[in-house]
Amino acid sequence: MTGRGMTIKWLFLLGAAALLAALIYNLADALRGGPAERPHVIVMVKSTATGMEFWGVLKDGVLEAAKEFDVEVEIVGPERETDVDQQIGLVEKALADKPDAIVLAATDFNRLAPYADRIKEAGIPLITVDSAVNSTAPRSYIATDNVEAGSKVGRKLAELSGGGRSKIAIISYVRDTASQIEREQGVRAVLKADERFEILDTYYSGGDETKAYEITKSLIQQHPDLTGIVGLNEPSTVGAGRAIRDLEAVGRVTLVGFDSSVDEVRLLEEGVMKATVVQRPFNMGYLAVKTAVEVLRGEKVPARVDTGSVVVTKDNIYEEEHQKLLFPFIGMNGD
């Protein structure tokens, strides 16, 4: 046999082997993965109550991502945000279900932490959304940069305030919730740097509008020199706004708040509230599921994803983009 013939033979054999390899690869590819292998992701929200627009929109984002990435999602959560125990129970149940990934919006920064660790120990990737937990277990945290959002509120308040001394009260919601802590931190950082401002205590409404109303009412009455109120979430802001409206303190007390609702829009239009910082819950839900899918695919994901926030004032309520954020059309997917 000639040397050339030898080469041709080897080339030929090599080609045949490559062909066979391609065939086997295709076979494996064809056999691998089917409809049965859709990843199962449990999304644990803070509240499933129908009135909570924020969570409704977030769910829309979750469902939209589930459709796009072909994921089987299961959305669970306690009835009310304050029901930490119920959420813990649901986390335990989710652990027993052994999903492929868990997306968690923690109702309590510290109390959910051991459960985050347990999720990690069970080998289930954990993504936190909106509210973090005091644990290193989550692979990624997808939320508004609440410190930044808080600063935006602070800056807006500073911008709206006159030259004189200002006394500011902060009405928060649930103590020890990560988002609350961060927002307050952002607000305080801006206002402390500005010597015009004196910050009163932080008051907790417990996410209850009536309680926020009562708190604000007594604050306005007790502190005649109160010039500004920051509401750290929707019920706290609306409650404060109602109190200001009822006490006819609109000109005296500047209200800057968080989140959105028809009531807040109303307060904006009326001029009771000067601005609100709106988050992007749709993006949060969407990105949380997307990130979970990326983790399941073995991709590297950023530890922190900021979904951003927008300052809405009376003048730009009806801008196209803000309409979507302020008047969420829940159930876009028809689910």
Partner 1 sequence: MNLFRFKSIQLNIAAAFAVLILLTAVFMGVISYQLSAVAVRDTAKDFTGEIVKQVNANIQSYVTNMENISLLVLNHRPVREYLSGDAGDGGSISEFFRTIMISRKDIASIGAFSYEGERFASDRRDARLNPYVKVADQTWFKEAKAAGGRTVVSAPHVQPVFDDEYRWVVSLSREIRSADNTRGLGVLLVDLNFSVINDIVSKIDLGKRGYVFIVNDEGNIVYHPQQQLIYSSLKTEAIDKVLSVGSGTFMTSEAGQRKMYTVQDSEYGWKIVGVSYADELIGNRRQMKLSFVALGVFSLIAAILISVLLSRNLSKPIQQLHEHMKEVEKGNFNIQVPVDRTKEIGRLARTFNLMVFQIRELMGQVVKEQEFKRKSELNALQAQINPHFLYNTLDSIIWMAEEKKSEEVVLMTSSLARLFRASLSKGKELVPIRTEIEHIKNYLTIQQMRYRDKLDFQVEVDPAILSCMTLKVTLQPLVENAIYHGIKNKYGTGTIRITGERHGDRILLRVADNGVGMDAATRERLLAPDSGGEYREGKGVGMTNVHERIRLYFGHEYGLTVESEPDAGTTVTVAIPVVLPEEAARKEAAER
- Using CB under 8 A, list all residues that contact partner 1: 1-2, 4-6, 8-9, 12, 16, 19, 23, 26-27, 29-31, 33-34, 61, 64, 67-68, 70, 262, 265-266, 269-271, 280, 282-283, 286-287, 307-308, 314, 317-318, 320-321, 323-327, 329, 332-334
Pick 13 or 189: Cβ nearer partner 1: 13
- Rounded to the nearest whole angstrom, what is the least distance from the CB of residue 253 to partner 1 in the complex? 19
Angle value at C-alpha 289, between 286 and 295, nearest 5 degrees: 135
Q: Using an 8 Å Cβ cutoff, are 264 and 231 in contact?
A: no
Pick 63 or 75: Cβ nearer partner 1: 63
Alpha carbons 233 and 206: distance in angstroms, whole number: 10
Closest CA to 315 of 284, 288, 276, 261: 276
- Rounded to the nearest whole angstrom, what is the least distance from the CB of residue 72 to partner 1 in the complex? 12
Q: Give residue 211's Cα distance to chain centre.
A: 24
- Rounded to the nearest whole angstrom, what is the least distance from the CB of residue 275 to partner 1 in the complex? 15
- Rounded to the nearest whole angstrom, what is the least distance from the CB of residue 9 to partner 1 in the complex? 6
Closest CA to 232 of 144, 163, 162: 144
- Rounded to the nearest whole angstrom, what is the least distance from the CB of residue 69 to partner 1 in the complex? 8
Q: Using an 8 Å Cβ cutoff, are 107 and 132 in contact?
A: no
Pick 92 or 269: Cβ nearer partner 1: 269
Pick 51 or 123: Cβ nearer partner 1: 51
Q: Enumerate residues 6+ apart whose C-beta is below 8 A from 216.
A: 169, 171, 229, 239, 240, 242, 243, 244
Q: Using an 8 Å Cβ cutoff, are 176 and 109 in contact?
A: yes
- Rounded to the nearest whole angstrom, what is the least distance from the CB of residue 303 to partner 1 in the complex? 18
Pick 2 or 50: Cβ nearer partner 1: 2
Amino acid at position 255, single letter: L
Pick 70 or 97: Cβ nearer partner 1: 70
Pick 140 or 180: Cβ nearer partner 1: 140
Alpha carbons 284 and 12: distance in angstroms, whole number: 55
Closest CA to 289 of 153, 137, 125: 125
- Rounded to the nearest whole angstrom, what is the least distance from the CB of residue 68 to partner 1 in the complex? 5
